[in-house]
């Protein structure tokens, strides 16, 4: 009782401080987590951003989850499941004795409520597209639910996992059925923590839920403090104002703080954030596969990683990143002679240079984007037969321009919707070629039309089997086909974004390809 009073007083005092005024040390059972990320809407049906989904992953759960440190799908709110022979019906046996953090019971009716609600509301800022293959959710009995699909899809379990915000199950007691939640009191999950305080732009507090069905969290309380920029976050970690800093540090601060023996610096070698060039294959000269291949030979990935990111990122030779099953390097190493040869075949020379425009967005991906674009310009112009003009546009206008076909060559980044190789290939090639700027479905050349047909067949085949080994073979074929087509050119794996910098006494930091940051494993 005495200890509880001391802790309560400490939390009350913390609430009085702005981020820069936090005391140097929090109680032993409390982790202070600093970030520059933001929260949008605390409603799984209408949010589609990393930190909001981070909240759901620590306070709510889905039918299936991932074994920490791996991409292995394991039971979570479901204890087991079966799939019909045609791959269209998934029947889940549910865990008994589980309650939501508002005290309501978890059962099949709650699962049906969550998915039916999300599909009905179609949140404009949400990820309903990731589950729109669901045709119906049926209650078989109080602890059995069946999800019937419109078409068989081997990525279904990944789409229904804890990594997808829209797939977490929320309480029918707290969640409004016909409107989006407003405030943290209109949202309750089944996770190890519940949200007890949220001041937008300042802090959020998780408290351990005493009736949680699983292993109790390592720390009783998690206080997230939101910082304005990377410099403020780095200063807070260095001074000890926060126990853990995550997303995002700039490369210079990572290098500097790595030499501080009072801190521990961790990163995920499997972090699946990728950066790449997109070519609009319906626009000249990018409707010529030999031009695209020449540019894929000319780019200098290693120089971008070394000069722009101080070696913290990693050169990338496939859109499916290292750490993801089926990954294989298929794009070529830099070869200026091959680039020049391909360009010469198309009639370009020092006296007749190919004039190109490279687009980038100056702030959405951080302050290093202009430097990366400058390195790309220099490396392509090193062929001696290409001139590159670099232009920029702010993110809102940028996305409109790329999806309306106004860009021919531009930089883009990808953070996966769900943990599966399909999500690193299909969006640009078969699912949303226009929205993501490749316009492969509107290809004008016979070669590119054939590529589109090939990708539809290959990626379609991959979804028809649940056998990972067979799917892996097919996705390796798709990666090779992508290198042959050069519709996208992978550049670097964005590992710098995965860095966690923490005080030496913090334990339980777990980083893997799922990108789930599990605060319930943290202790000190």
Question: Do 456 and 348 share a structural domain?
Answer: yes
Q: Which residues contact 33 (CB under 8 A, 6 or more apart)?
A: 222, 223, 224, 225, 242, 243, 244, 245, 246, 519
CATH number of the domain enclosing 127: 3.90.76.10
What is the side-by-side order of every strand in the sheet holding 409-414?
314-315, 488-493, 274-279, 409-414, 354-360, 386-392
Is residue 207 a part of any domain in this protein? yes
Is residue 45 a part of any domain in this protein? no
Is residue 237 a part of any domain in this protein? yes
CATH number of the domain enclosing 263: 3.40.190.10
Asked if omega into 228 is within 30° of 0 (cis), the reply is no
Q: How far apart are CA 196 and CA 15, in angstroms?
A: 12
Question: Do 305 and 432 share a structural domain?
Answer: yes
Question: Do 403 and 350 share a structural domain?
Answer: yes
User: What SS3 class is residue 331?
Assistant: coil
Hunting for tokens 């009716």 — which residue is that? Answer: 109
- Asked whether 227 and 246 are in contact (CB, 8 A), the reply is no
User: What SS3 class is residue 118?
Assistant: helix
What pLDDT sits at residue 466? 84
- Asked whether 473 and 484 are in contact (CB, 8 A), the reply is no
Structure tokens of 437?
């700027």
What pLDDT sits at residue 25? 62
Per the structure, the complete domain to which residue 249 belongs is given by 1-38+201-267+499-524
What pLDDT sits at residue 18? 47
pLDDT along the chain (524 residues), means of 10: 34 42 70 94 93 97 94 95 96 98 98 98 92 97 98 95 96 96 91 97 97 97 96 96 94 94 92 96 98 98 96 96 93 98 98 98 88 98 98 93 96 91 96 95 98 97 90 97 98 94 97 93 97
Is residue 138 a part of any domain in this protein? yes
What pLDDT sits at residue 184? 85
Question: Do 383 and 505 share a structural domain?
Answer: no
Q: For residue 339, give the DSSP letter.
A: H
Is residue 196 a part of any domain in this protein? no
CATH number of the domain enclosing 311: 3.10.105.10
Question: Do 146 and 70 share a structural domain?
Answer: yes
Question: Can you say how many angstroms the Cα of residue 252 is from the centroid of all Cα atoms in its chain?
Answer: 24
Question: Do 412 and 400 share a structural domain?
Answer: yes
This prediction has a pTM of: 0.85
What pLDDT sits at residue 367? 81
Question: Do 116 and 248 share a structural domain?
Answer: no
Is residue 49 a part of any domain in this protein? no
Question: Do 206 and 335 share a structural domain?
Answer: no
Tell me how far CA of residue 123 lies from CA of 15, 128, 148, in angstroms: 32, 7, 21
**Which of 61, 135, 63 lies closest to 100 in space, CA to CA?**
61
Q: How far apart are CA 303 and CA 308, in angstroms?
A: 8
Domain count for the chain = 3
Is residue 187 a part of any domain in this protein? no
> What is the torsional sign of CA 188, 193, 196, 200?
negative
Question: Do 488 and 399 share a structural domain?
Answer: yes
């Amino acid at each position: 009782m005495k200890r509880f009073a001391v802790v309560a007083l400490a939390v009350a005092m913390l609430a009085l401080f702005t981020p820069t005024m936090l005391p140097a040390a929090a109680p032993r059972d409390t982790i202070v987590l600093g970030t520059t990320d933001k929260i949008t809407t605390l409603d799984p049906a209408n949010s589609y951003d990393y930190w909001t989904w981070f909240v759901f992953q620590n306070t709510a759960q889905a039918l299936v989850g991932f074994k920490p440190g791996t991409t292995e799908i394991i039971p979570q709110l479901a204890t087991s499941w079966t799939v019909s022979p045609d791959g269209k019906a998934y029947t889940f046996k549910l865990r008994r004795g589980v309650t939501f953090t508002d005290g309501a019971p978890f059962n099949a009716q709650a699962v049906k409520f969550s998915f039916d609600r999300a599909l009905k509301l179609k949140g404009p800022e949400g990820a309903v597209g990731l589950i729109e293959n669901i045709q119906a959710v049926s209650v078989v009995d109080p602890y059995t639910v069946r999800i019937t699909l419109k078409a068989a899809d081997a990525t279904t379990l990944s789409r229904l996992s804890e990594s997808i915000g829209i797939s977490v199950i929320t309480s029918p007691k707290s969640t409004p059925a016909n409107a989006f939640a407003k405030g943290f009191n209109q949202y309750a999950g089944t996770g190890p923590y519940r949200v007890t305080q949220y001041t937008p732009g300042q802090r959020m507090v998780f408290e351990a839920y005493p009736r949680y069905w699983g292993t109790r969290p390592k720390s009783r309380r998690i206080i997230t403090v939101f910082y304005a920029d990377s410099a403020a976050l780095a200063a807070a970690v260095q001074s000890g104002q926060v126990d853990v800093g995550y997303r995002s540090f700039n490369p210079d601060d990572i290098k500097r703080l790595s030499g501080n023996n009072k801190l521990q610096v961790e990163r995920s070698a499997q972090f699946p954030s990728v950066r790449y060039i997109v070519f609009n294959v319906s626009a000249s000269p990018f409707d010529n596969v030999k031009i695209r291949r020449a540019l894929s030979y000319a780019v200098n990935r290693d120089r971008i990683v070394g000069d722009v990111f101080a070696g913290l990122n990693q050169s990338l030779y496939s859109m499916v990143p290292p750490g993801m099953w089926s990954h294989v390097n298929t794009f070529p190493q830099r070869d200026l002679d091959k680039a020049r040869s391909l360009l010469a075949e198309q009639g370009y020379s020092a006296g007749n240079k190919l004039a190109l425009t490279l687009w980038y967005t100056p702030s959405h991906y951080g302050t290093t984007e202009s430097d990366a674009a400058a390195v790309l310009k220099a490396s392509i112009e090193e062929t001696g037969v290409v001139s590159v003009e670099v232009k920029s546009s702010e993110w809102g206008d940028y996305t409109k321009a790329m999806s309306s076909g106004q860009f021919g060559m531009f930089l883009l980044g990808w953070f996966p919707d769900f943990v599966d190789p399909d999500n690193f290939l299909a969006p640009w090639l078969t699912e949303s070629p226009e929205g993501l700027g490749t316009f492969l479905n509107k290809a004008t050349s016979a070669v590119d039309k054939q590529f589109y047909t090939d990708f539809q067949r290959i990626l379609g085949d991959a979804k028809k089997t649940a056998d990972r080994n067979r799917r892996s073979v097919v996705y390796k074929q798709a990666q090779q086909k992508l290198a042959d087509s050069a519709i996208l050119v992978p550049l670097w794996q964005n590992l710098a974004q995965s860095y966690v910098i923490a005080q030496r006494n913090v334990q339980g930091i777990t980083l893997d390809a799922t990108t789930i940051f599990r605060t319930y494993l943290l202790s000190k």
